């Protein structure tokens, strides 16, 4: 099978891209572990990108803290960490590209107006000319096309960009580049081939694929893992006071993440060093056994 003349195996590049709104909690650790195992099981690279585009929401030192936590858990990344705050020129370039082709427009609709029209923007500012750019957001024109992708966990997922999503924001009213634009530019720049992340982002995926198509970027494969919720059904997040993970509890945390990701680690593994557990996880990783769920409770009893 593995003749030396065989076509080089396609190279896998995965990534974990936290925003430094605080230290890692168990929910973000799940995405780190899943993307790491999938990359390493495919003999790929695993990159870390810090999505620090929203300074008011980033406590000082949070990025360093996240990297320390990953280090302590032996989730070792390949290459240099990429910081989105260093990439503004590249986002500007993509924006200019869209703008020169009249694929986006300034929007100064008030919050009140946006609220009154519901969740899908009605195109109101598309043809308004010469708006004072102060206080304007920039939206991309959403054509009425169906975008479908095959999620590695959930299978086919389809949205009509025009009728189900609408013109969406790529530069915010406060002039910060929106997540959707930055992430697409960086995934292309880093040649990411596989994106494994939480289910809460599946709604963003059609937007990102749409931008990739407009910008002539390749589309990676996507897999969305269940997001961890607390006993009130809320996503573990800083807003809901999720506790930061303590690297001293590493072995137990990794064990718990494995169970929630559909792996069946032997009971004795619970106290094994994280490195040993990760080696086991890489060998056993199977995307097919990841629960096809949007949410999973954090206190799901371990199947042992
Ligand atoms: Zn508008």
- At residue 303, the pLDDT reads 46
Q: How far is the CA of 176 from the centre of ligand 1 (A)?
A: 17
Q: How far is the CA of 167 from the centre of ligand 1 (A)?
A: 9
Count CB atoms within 10 A of the CB of residue 249. 13
Q: How far is the CA of 301 from the centre of ligand 1 (A)?
A: 48
Q: How far is the CA of 288 from the centre of ligand 1 (A)?
A: 43
Q: How far is the CA of 101 from the centre of ligand 1 (A)?
A: 19
Angle between helices 250-260 and 274-284 (to 10 degrees): 20
3-state secondary structure of 42: coil
Average pLDDT score over residue span 150-156: 97
- At residue 2, the pLDDT reads 41
All structural domains of the chain: 13-87+186-297 (3.40.50.620), 88-181 (3.40.50.620)
Q: What is the pTM of this model?
A: 0.92
Alpha helices in 80-198 (DSSP H): 88-100, 111-117, 179-189
Q: How far is the CA of 163 from the centre of ligand 1 (A)?
A: 17
Query: 30-56: per-residue pLDDT in tens?
Result: 999 999 999 999 999 999 999 999 998
Q: What is the dihedral of CA 59, 65, 66, 71, to 10 degrees?
A: 170
Q: How far is the CA of 110 from the centre of ligand 1 (A)?
A: 8
Query: 227-275: per-residue pLDDT in tens?
Result: 998 888 787 776 666 788 998 899 999 999 999 999 999 988 889 999 9
């Amino acid at each position: 099978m593995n003749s030396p003349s065989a076509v080089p195996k396609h190279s896998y590049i995965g990534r974990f891209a936290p925003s430094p709104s605080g230290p890692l909690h168990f929910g973000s650790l799940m995405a780190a572990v899943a993307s790491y195992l999938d990359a390493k099981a495919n003999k790929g690279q695993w990159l870390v990108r810090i999505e620090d585009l929203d300074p008011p929401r980033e406590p000082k030192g949070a990025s360093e803290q996240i990297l320390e936590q990953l280090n302590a858990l032996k989730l070792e990344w390949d290459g240099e960490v990429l910081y989105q705050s260093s990439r503004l020129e590249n986002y500007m370039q993509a924006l200019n590209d869209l703008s020169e082709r009249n694929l986006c427009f300034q929007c100064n609709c008030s919050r009140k107006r946006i609220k009154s029209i519901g969740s899908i923007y009605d195109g109101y500012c598309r043809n308004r000319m010469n708006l004072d750019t102060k206080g304007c957001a920039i939206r991309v024109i959403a054509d009425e096309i169906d975008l479908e992708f095959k999620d590695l966990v959930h299978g086919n997922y389809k949205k009509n960009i025009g009728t189900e999503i609408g013109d969406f924001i790529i530069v915010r009213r406060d002039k910060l580049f929106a997540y959707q634009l930055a992430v697409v530019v960086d995934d292309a720049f880093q040649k990411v081939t596989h994106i494994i992340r939480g289910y809460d982002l599946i709604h963003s995926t059609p937007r990102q694929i749409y931008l990739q198509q407009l910008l002539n970027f390749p589309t990676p494969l996507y897999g969305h893992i269940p997001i961890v919720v607390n006993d009130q059904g809320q996503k573990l997040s800083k807003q809901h006071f999720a506790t930061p993970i303590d690297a001293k509890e590493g072995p137990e945390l990794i064990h718990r993440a494995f169970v929630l990701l559909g792996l069946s680690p032997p009971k004795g593994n619970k106290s094994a060093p994280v490195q040993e557990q990760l080696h086991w996880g890489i060998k056993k990783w199977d995307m097919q056994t990841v629960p096809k769920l949007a949410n999973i409770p954090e206190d799901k009893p371990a199947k042992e």
